[in-house]
Structure 1
Amino acid sequence: MRLATYNIEWFAYLFDKNDRLMLDAKPSGVHGVDRYTQGRAIAHVLQRLDADAIMIVEAPNTGRTQRTTRALEAFAAEAGLRACEAVSGYPTDTHQEIALLYDPDVLDAVHDARSSAAAPRFDGAFEIDLDVDERLDKVEFSKPPLELAVTTKGGTPLRMIGAHLKSKAPHGARSKDEVTAVSIANRRKQLAQAIWLHRRVEEHVAAGEHVVVIGDLNDGPGLDEFEKLFGQSSVEIVMGSLLNDPHAQSLKQPRATALPSTSRFYNPETKRYFGALLDYVMISHSLMGLRPQWRIWHPFEDAECIGDDEMRMALLNASDHFPVTLDLDLA
């Protein structure tokens, strides 16, 4: 079985208010790329991944007249994908939903949100003292994680959680002091979301369930200087001692020489591109015996993608993130 996560940059821009696909010469959400080119690029990448299930981060919008699942299923039909059915969770007001595209001949997936005293439902509020002032702060997800009960056609149950944690980027800050203050506040909120998510993982593992946490965590060990203030990245908090992802774990090793990355952004000040490891497929220890194989489909780091001009350009035109896949001996 192949599982994938793919943050598709502003996928919503390719659909009108009635979820009709717009492939034309108008700008997409990808800088310098029109909607026709981005749409064709996304289709090409998803065809090549040929995954049994793809967690789409920044999926098309659900709103007054729009439905994420309708848009994704129409796109899958247009692209000829066998992962042709979609499931989503709580809608957001960000036009960036979380949804799973999957092959119904391989697995079934249903939205199955949970709640407990330690970890309330993800569309609710989580109370935690963020700034150690002995007062509880209320934290919410702008994009509530998608909790899924997945059953393979062979009868194996999985708990899958699709996540898109808060960005640490200091959007709206103008001065250096504002950048620092907003960055620290955003990291506090992101770490609280990570604690909330980890508590849910703890509950599933304690119940003896297979767990997959998959998506864009907007963080990684050693990613920025503000991590030193808090001791851990949100990725390390989510994983704890219960989950495995070799890309995340490699960054914790001393003297790492080749750092993996799943995204590529442009810095207009330095006029250079930089990469970051933001996207993960984490699995519980119970799945480690199924010969897991992780792969980042990076256009300049994956040998097959480097040697395939069409695939390399499709990856660059589709999004500023690149897909991550996990292959398991699971039926």
Structure 2
Amino acid sequence: MRIATYNVEWFSSLFDEDNRLLRDDEASGRQGVSRAAQIEALGRVFTEMDADAVMVVEAPDQGRRRDTVAALEHFAGQFQLRARKAIMGFANTTQQEIALLFDPAALVPMHDPRGAEAGPEGAVGAPRFDGAMRIDLDVDAREDLVRFSKPPLELDVTTAKGRTFRMIGAHLKSKAPHGARGDDEVMRISIANRRKQLAQAIWLRRRIEEDLAAGDDVILLGDLNDGPGLDEFEHLFGYSSVEILIGPEDGARMFDPHAQDALRHPLAAQASTARFHIERQGRYLSALLDYVMISEGLRTERPKWRIWHPFEDHACWQNAPLREALLAASDHFPVVLDIDL
């Protein structure tokens, strides 16, 4: 079975109000790429991946007229993808949803959020992801309320072979210090937002631990916007979101080989899953942001990871049409897991 995660930059801008693709020469959300060019590039990438399931991060918007599932299924139909059905969980207000495209002949996913529903006052522990969690983020001995801007997607999955597991799609974010005046305020807001992202990781880790304690296998995948050594405030807090989600050395750990390599060899060359243009510096920044983590019980099922990076993966580099499509389609690249399920 092939399971992938793919952050598609501003996928929503490629659809009209009827959830149909806009194949024209107007600008997309990708700088210098038309909507038609991005659509064709995405079609090639998804076709070449030929995945049984793709966790789409920054999926098309869900709203009064916009429909994430309808848009993704229309996209899949246009390119005759095996992964032609879509499912999502809680909608958000960012125009960047989390949804799964899947092949219904290969697996059956069901939206199955766990945790207690939390009202405006929030709840301690690991409440349902569309609510709020109470946690003390600093040293003032007062609890803060933490919310997900993009609630993770929790799925109960059954494969055609009868194997069951939990799948969680996530997109963690640490907001930029918009509206800050002066360097001191920028630093204060940035630290506060970083604390909130780490709290989201703690919340998500608590859910993983609950799932594992219930005897479930777990796959966590998506854009964690974080990696060992990546964040400028990591030295202040002592750890990254990725380390929180992997878990403690003496606990039930999650595994991703790229995260493991980054943690074990921080000064060595690292894999990357995203490439951003830094205009003021005239260069590109590469980062490891996207992961497919699996629990210990799945490591015996011959898992094999691959990042479809056009400059780092030899097969992607040699396939010139795919290489160009990956560069036009998004500022992130797919992370693919092949596993016997």
Query: TM above 0.5, one fold?
Result: yes
Cα distance, 1:168 vs. partner?
A: 5.0
Would the alpha carbon gap of residues 268 and 176 (structure 1) be closer, same or farther in structure 2, given more than 3 Å must change? Answer: farther
2:256 corresponding residue in structure 1: 245
Cα distance, 1:256 vs. partner?
A: 4.1
Does residue 269 of structure 2 align to residue 271 of structure 1?
no
More displaced 10-residue stretch of structure 1: 98-107 or 111-120: 111-120
Q: Distance in 1 between matches of 2:37 and 2:265?
A: 41
Which of 271, 284, 297 is equivalent to 1:286? 297
Would the alpha carbon gap of residues 11 and 255 (structure 1) be closer, same or farther in structure 2, given more than 3 Å must change? Answer: closer
Q: Distance in 2 between matches of 1:98 and 1:265?
A: 21
Does residue 94 of structure 2 align to residue 83 of structure 1?
no
2:185 corresponding residue in structure 1: 178
Cα distance, 1:171 vs. partner?
A: 4.2
Does residue 158 of structure 2 align to residue 147 of structure 1?
no
Q: Distance in 2 between matches of 1:141 and 1:23?
A: 33
The root-mean-square deviation of aligned C-alpha atoms, in Å, is 1.2
Cα distance, 1:313 vs. partner?
A: 0.8
User: Is the Cα–Cα contact under 8 Å of residues 243 and 283 in structure 1 kept in the other structure?
Assistant: yes
Equivalent residue of 1:251, what SS? helix
Would the alpha carbon gap of residues 81 and 174 (structure 1) be closer, same or farther in structure 2, given more than 3 Å must change? Answer: farther
Cα distance, 1:175 vs. partner?
A: 3.5
Q: Distance in 2 between matches of 1:171 and 1:30?
A: 22
Cα distance, 1:118 vs. partner?
A: 2.0
2:120 corresponding residue in structure 1: none
Would the alpha carbon gap of residues 317 and 112 (structure 1) be closer, same or farther in structure 2, given more than 3 Å must change? Answer: same
User: Is the Cα–Cα contact under 8 Å of residues 195 and 238 in structure 1 kept in the other structure?
Assistant: yes
Q: Distance in 2 between matches of 1:69 and 1:255?
A: 39
Q: Distance in 2 between matches of 1:15 and 1:254?
A: 42
User: Is the Cα–Cα contact under 8 Å of residues 158 and 164 in structure 2 kept in the other structure?
Assistant: yes
Equivalent residue of 2:189, what SS? helix
Would the alpha carbon gap of residues 37 and 253 (structure 1) be closer, same or farther in structure 2, given more than 3 Å must change? Answer: same
User: Is the Cα–Cα contact under 8 Å of residues 165 and 216 in structure 1 kept in the other structure?
Assistant: yes
Q: Distance in 2 between matches of 1:206 and 1:231?
A: 27
User: Is the Cα–Cα contact under 8 Å of residues 168 and 218 in structure 1 kept in the other structure?
Assistant: no
2:74 corresponding residue in structure 1: 74
Cα distance, 1:144 vs. partner?
A: 0.2
2:119 corresponding residue in structure 1: none
Does residue 199 of structure 2 align to residue 192 of structure 1?
yes
Would the alpha carbon gap of residues 50 and 185 (structure 1) be closer, same or farther in structure 2, given more than 3 Å must change? Answer: same
Cα distance, 1:181 vs. partner?
A: 2.1
User: Is the Cα–Cα contact under 8 Å of residues 293 and 327 in structure 1 kept in the other structure?
Assistant: yes
How many aligned residue pairs are there?
A: 330
2:164 corresponding residue in structure 1: 157
Equivalent residue of 1:252, what SS? helix
Would the alpha carbon gap of residues 173 and 319 (structure 1) be closer, same or farther in structure 2, given more than 3 Å must change? Answer: farther
Does residue 25 of structure 2 align to residue 18 of structure 1?
no
Deviations along 1:217-255, one digit per CA (max 9) or x if unpaired, are 000010022001111100110111420001111111136
User: Is the Cα–Cα contact under 8 Å of residues 229 and 266 in structure 2 kept in the other structure?
Assistant: no
Q: Distance in 1 between matches of 2:104 and 2:305?
A: 23
Gaps of 5+ in 1: none
One-letter amino acid of the counterpart of residue 6, structure 1: Y
Cα distance, 1:169 vs. partner?
A: 3.9
1:312 corresponding residue in structure 2: 323
Equivalent residue of 1:269, what SS? helix
Q: Distance in 2 between matches of 1:171 and 1:265?
A: 20
The normalised TM-score by structure 1 is 0.97
Q: Distance in 1 between matches of 2:149 and 2:41?
A: 28
Does residue 331 of structure 2 align to residue 324 of structure 1?
no
Q: Distance in 2 between matches of 1:310 and 1:174?
A: 46
One-letter amino acid of the counterpart of residue 115, structure 1: G
Equivalent residue of 2:43, what SS? helix
1:130 corresponding residue in structure 2: 137
One-letter amino acid of the counterpart of residue 246, structure 1: P
Q: Distance in 2 between matches of 1:168 and 1:82?
A: 36
User: Is the Cα–Cα contact under 8 Å of residues 19 and 71 in structure 2 kept in the other structure?
Assistant: yes
User: Is the Cα–Cα contact under 8 Å of residues 98 and 163 in structure 1 kept in the other structure?
Assistant: yes
Cα distance, 1:72 vs. partner?
A: 0.2
Equivalent residue of 1:290, what SS? coil
Q: Distance in 2 between matches of 1:195 and 1:13?
A: 32
Q: Distance in 2 between matches of 1:65 and 1:287?
A: 40
Q: Distance in 2 between matches of 1:252 and 1:161?
A: 22
Q: How does 1:86-105 map to 2 (within 5 A)?
A: 86-105=86-105
Which of 208, 211, 233 is equivalent to 1:201? 208
User: Is the Cα–Cα contact under 8 Å of residues 250 and 256 in structure 1 kept in the other structure?
Assistant: no
Q: Distance in 2 between matches of 1:98 and 1:255?
A: 30
More displaced 10-residue stretch of structure 1: 292-301 or 253-262: 253-262
Equivalent residue of 2:294, what SS? strand
